[in-house]
Amino acid sequence: MQTKHSFVDQIEETLIAILIGLMTVITFANVIARFGFNSNILWALELTVFLFGWLVLLGASYAVKKHSHLGVDAILNMVSPGTARVMGLISVACCLVFSFLLLKGAYDYWAVFADLPPTSGRWFPTGFEDKFRSQSFYEVQDVPMVGFLRFLEDWINYGEEYEKLPKVVPYLVLPVSMSLLMYRFIQASLQIWRGETDRLVASHEVEDEIEEVRAQQGEHE
């Protein structure tokens, strides 16, 4: 089981590293183009923004899995283990509801770009809308269309060619990341229920770093 978890971790960490690497390479190339050749990569800024959005949204769910989000556990440290576990379950239940609302909103926003019906219902989905205005023809501003995605023209754009990248592609991260976020909160709730942990935030890296800095200052003194 540990090997399986490590393999999944490697996939997620590799994807995050690729996103950071692409952002760095594209930004560096654009700087060289501007100052070295007095030119400009027109689509560089927009693509970097999309990559950063993917990085943040995917990283949010990964941080839940690694218990790396910032949190305040002063009250949890003052109560009994049983009480802390109950408080942890209440916290994760609130997070599950919130992430479910985010998932609904993310899907509804993305669906029209994919020529799919958004869900009905204001807060919780009660079905799918019968009538909706497709926005599958919407394109990004600068990033050009790439060849291997041309199949989308027949799938969702009724055979019309895309000049720029359709918005359905970069915005796909919205429902995907919110699905992963909800999945990670479900994993966290199971960990609390089984007694493996009593809180969502189990990382104290900030406290450790502060103690390390204090120790270094004490050595210099």
pLDDT digits (tens, 9 = 90+) for 124-174: 999 999 999 999 999 999 999 999 999 999 999 999 999 999 999 999 999
Alpha carbons 18 and 91: distance in angstroms, whole number: 33
- The pLDDT of residue 1 is 42
CB 138 within 8 Å of CB 113: yes
pLDDT digits (tens, 9 = 90+) for 39-83: 889 999 999 999 999 999 999 988 888 877 877 777 777 888 889
Residues 6+ apart with CB under 8 A from 150: 162
DSSP-assigned letter for residue 74: T
Q: Could you report how far apart the first and last alpha carbons of the chain are, in Å?
A: 47
pTM (2 d.p.): 0.83
